[in-house]
């Protein structure tokens, strides 16, 4: 009788092992079948981050709430209108994305946030973004509101001026002293931030070689 019980137990164990082996194999093959998302320039976050409350306005003076990010993909870029090099180059690429989006019936929103509210008036901002594409949204606000929005994405910037032969660094969120006039420098991060149709920050792109490469990445996310 003891021998029969041992054999029965062995059969049960063997059957369980076989079942577990089949299940494990199925999971393994399923995992192998799922191709990893290969992106050239966009780096995804481990987890999406819902956008915070936004206290910025468009160049037309309209409030720009979080709901404006819903039901469409958005790209957010921080810069300033008197930027001599990087901002114009990036905005040219981003403007091309709007052309591609129209051709493919994709609802894409490009947002340019000025980090230099003292010099970037609403009129100046509207002219600047409109030069690259009429659908680019220009946002501005007071210094604390801009800094809070930039901090959420991890975008850094600061302004500096030479005053009385001394270097003055003005951190994000602080007003530029009037004594500096219009003669000061702005250093800012160069990442383009990606927001999904649920209003969540999901990743960013840097060192964008061309609009075509970025568009290819975005199509994999859409």
Whether residues 79 and 179 fall in one domain: yes
Q: Are strands 42-50 and 73-79 parallel, antiparallel or unpaired?
A: unpaired
Vertex 128, ends 123 and 133: CA angle to 5°? 120
Alpha helices in the chain (DSSP H): 2-33, 86-103, 122-132, 143-153, 211-221
> What's the rounded Cα separation, in Å, for the pair 191 and 67?
23
Residue 125 has a CB neighbour count (10 Å cut-off) of: 24
> What's the rounded Cα separation, in Å, for the pair 196 and 48?
9
Whether residues 95 and 5 fall in one domain: no
Whether residues 133 and 170 fall in one domain: yes
pLDDT for 35 equals 62
Find the domain containing 11 and state its range.
1-34
Whether residues 130 and 97 fall in one domain: yes
Q: What are phi and psi of 169, to 5 degrees?
A: -100, 125
Residue 45 has a CB neighbour count (10 Å cut-off) of: 13
Across the 222 residues of the chain, what is the mean pLDDT of every consecutive 10-residue run?
48 43 38 65 96 95 95 97 94 97 96 97 97 97 97 96 91 92 92 97 94 95 91
pLDDT for 16 equals 42
Beta-carbon contacts of 128 under 8 Å, excluding residues fewer than 6 positions away, are 81, 112, 120, 138
Whether residues 131 and 187 fall in one domain: yes
Q: Is 107 helix (H, G, I), strand (E, B) or coil?
A: coil
pLDDT for 34 equals 57
> What's the rounded Cα separation, in Å, for the pair 162 and 206?
30
Q: Are strands 73-79 and 192-195 parallel, antiparallel or unpaired?
A: antiparallel
> What's the rounded Cα separation, in Å, for the pair 79 and 73?
20
Q: Looking at residue 50, which CATH number applies to its domain?
A: 3.40.30.10
Number of domains in the chain: 2
Q: Going edge to edge, which strands form the sheet with 73-79?
A: 42-50, 200-205, 192-195, 73-79, 108-114, 137-140, 56-58, 63-64
**CA dihedral sign, ordered 79, 81, 83, 88:** positive
**Do 81 and 197 contact (CB within 8 A), yes or no?**
no
Whether residues 80 and 140 fall in one domain: yes
Q: Is 207 helix (H, G, I), strand (E, B) or coil?
A: coil
Whether residues 100 and 162 fall in one domain: yes
């Amino acid at each position: 009788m003891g021998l029969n019980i041992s054999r029965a137990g062995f059969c049960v164990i063997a059957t369980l092992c076989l079942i577990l082996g089949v299940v494990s194999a199925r999971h393994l093959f399923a995992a192998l079948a799922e191709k990893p998302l290969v992106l050239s320039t966009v780096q995804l976050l481990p987890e999406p981050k819902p956008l915070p409350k936004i206290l910025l306005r468009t160049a037309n003076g309209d409030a720009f709430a979080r709901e404006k990010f819903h039901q469409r993909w958005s790209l957010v870029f921080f810069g300033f209108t008197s930027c001599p090099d990087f901002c114009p180059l990036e905005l040219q690429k981003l403007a091309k994305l709007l052309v591609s989006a129209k051709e493919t019936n994709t609802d894409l929103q490009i947002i340019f946030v000025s980090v230099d509210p003292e010099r970037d008036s609403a009129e100046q901002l509207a002219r600047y973004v409109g030069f690259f594409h009429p659908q680019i949204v220009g946002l501005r606000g007071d210094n604390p509101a801009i800094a809070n929005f930039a901090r959420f994405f991890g975008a850094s910037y600061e302004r500096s001026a030479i005053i009385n032969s001394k270097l003055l660094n003005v951190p994000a969120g602080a007003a530029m002293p009037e004594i500096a006039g219009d003669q000061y420098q702005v250093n800012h991060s160069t990442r383009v931030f990606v927001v999904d149709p649920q209003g969540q920050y999901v990743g960013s792109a840097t060192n964008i070689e061309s609009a075509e490469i970025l568009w290819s990445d975005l199509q994999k996310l859409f």
